[in-house]
Amino acid sequence: MTKKRGKRTRGREMALKALYASEFRSDPADVRPDSLAGTGEDRDMSEFARRLIEGCMGHLTEIDEIIQKVATNWRVDRMPNLDRNILRLATYELLYCQDTPPKVVINEAIELSKLYGTEGSPNFINGVLDKIYTDFSMTLKTKLKCNAVGGEPGRSSSRYVLKAPPTPPDPQKRADLHLHSNASDGELSPGAVVKEAGRCGLDAISLTDHDCIDGVEEAVRAGEDAGIYVVPGVEMSAYIHDTIGDKEYELHILGYYIDIFNEKLVEELEKLQKVRLFRVRRIAEKLAGCGIDIDVEEIIEEKNNTVGRLHVALKLIEMGVCGSVDEVFSKFLGDGMPAFVPKEKTSARHTIDMIHQAGGCAVLAHPGLAKGVEGVIDHLEDAGLDGIEVHYTGHKAEDAAFWLDVARRRNMVITGGSDFHGNPSGGAGPGAEAVSLVEVHGLFECSRRYGYVETFEK
């Protein structure tokens, strides 16, 4: 039985034919999407084709410039007509359409090239589009996001207006300041995280996705609808070296009240995403050298680019290569093993500086999980650390008591959270560990020294 082709697949084909035909007209820009009509399902297909055509022609100069930068050995005007227009359509969809996963866009373009291009078209199309996504997609989507809400990178948006936390702070109202969504490695959308937080009786939250701020705006708006106060946040990995003990610690630094349109922060997070992707793809190459082929792009798509060795390990277990994570690391992914790829490391001072220049407050996440890190707390304070996540689901009572004393003695802010990921197999739910709105106010006041919160609606 022939598989029924989707509406969008047929819409892309319709758009390609229209763009191809336009090149033989006296005015190449004279593509008439108004001629695309239909009813029912055909109407949906035609509307999608119209959207692609209008968008592609409206951004044609910019799209061709991007293609030219990537396809260094080809001039765009010398490419085969069909290849050129497949690239134009896919580039527009990659950069300007938020509702289609990049892997789908690239795969659909490859299928079009198989249908209509030459023998070498699929590999050519795949190579160019993969490079465009890697080099341009994240940056341009961030700029589009800023423009769409009336702002610019480095500035808070005119429509992205946050309020200060409720005054006076009610110590009876609860806040979970460590939650993750599917914008990084969580299971739920940002809006669904807010909804779940409301179901759990929380009054405030912070979305702190790993090296990612893509879900913050959705969470803030969902919070406005649900009556839940949302603090813009992020969780970033960092390293610090104990010169006395000659030991290196991997830390997680939480940034609160950050400006998600700050240009330098956006660039830093894009860099971290690219480093993650490079590392996991290099691991896949080394595994292939061991005779193990994994679909690394599938892993990347499932985890929204927030990938690491653990996700590769879980895939290998799923494939039956190994029986446990420990076995995967001992045989393949651990230090010195055949598929080991070292991680590019960012210093704690640099990470804290990035949070501060984006107007945010820097807090050490779950310190009780990193045994011995108390030995470098002086270095972290010197680097500008503002607070400590004292209350955490993975902390024992003695851990919380110890770090509470550390925070109070150093006049640092105190936070807490569940580290909720929405895992269906278990794990802490929103509010399993929480603080009150008094601590949220402490964060807000701490962040005032870095400037961004002064732009908030009081």
pLDDT of residue 25: 59
pLDDT of 428 above 80:
no
CA distance 202 to 155: 30
Q: pLDDT (tens digit, 9 = 90+) per residue, 300-343?
A: 777 666 778 888 998 999 999 999 989 999 999 988 999 999 88
Q: Cis link prior to 168 (omega < 30° from 0)?
A: yes
pLDDT of res. 158: 39
Phi-psi region of 146 (alpha: psi -120 to 50; beta: other; left: phi over 0): alpha
Q: Which residues contact 430 (CB under 8 A, 6 or more apart)?
A: 176, 179, 193, 196, 197, 200, 202, 205, 418, 420
Q: Which residues of 301-323 are buried (b: 16+ CB within 10 A; e: fewer)?
A: eebbbbbbbebbbebbeeeebbe
How far is Cα 368 from Cα 448, in angstroms, rounded to an integer?
A: 28
Distance CA 440, CA 452 (A): 16
Do 213 and 206 form a contact (C-beta atoms < 8 A)?
A: no
In this structure, the number of other CB atoms found within 10 A of the CB of residue 425 comes to 5
Q: How far apart are CA 181 and CA 419, in angstroms?
A: 10
β-strands 229-242, 247-256 pairing? antiparallel
Determine the pLDDT at residue 144. 47
Instruction: List the alpha helices (DSSP H) in 175-259.
Output: 190-199, 216-226
**Separation of alpha carbons 56 and 66, rounded Å:** 13
Which residues, 6+ apart, have CB-to-CB distance to 442 below 8 Å? 387, 413, 414
In the chain the domains, ranked by start, together with CATH numbers, are 7-148 (1.10.940.10), 174-261+345-455 (3.20.20.140), 268-333 (no CATH)
Other CB atoms within 10 Å distance of the CB of residue 116: 18
In the predicted model, is pLDDT for residue 296 greater than 90?
A: no
Q: What percent of the chain has pLDDT over 90?
A: 44
- H helix count then E strand count, the chain: 17, 8
Give me the mean pLDDT over the 36-48 stretch: 63
pLDDT higher than 90, residue 261: no
At residue 363, the pLDDT reads 98
Q: Which residues lie below 8 Å from residue 220, measured CB to CB, with a gap of 6+?
A: 160, 162, 230, 232
pTM: 0.67
Residue 26 predicted with pLDDT over 80: no
d(CA 321, CA 333): 13
pLDDT value of position 386 = 97
- DSSP character at residue 195: H
392 has pLDDT over 80: yes
Q: What is the pLDDT of residues 125-158, one digit of tens each?
A: 998 998 888 777 655 555 444 444 444 433 334 3
Residue 282 has pLDDT above 60, yes or no: yes
Q: What is the pLDDT of residues 333-385, one digit of tens each?
A: 988 999 999 888 899 999 999 999 999 999 999 999 888 888 899 999 999 99
Taking the C-alpha atoms of residue 309 and residue 330, their distance in angstroms, rounded to an integer, is: 12
pLDDT band at 298 (very low <50, low <70, confident <90, very high): confident
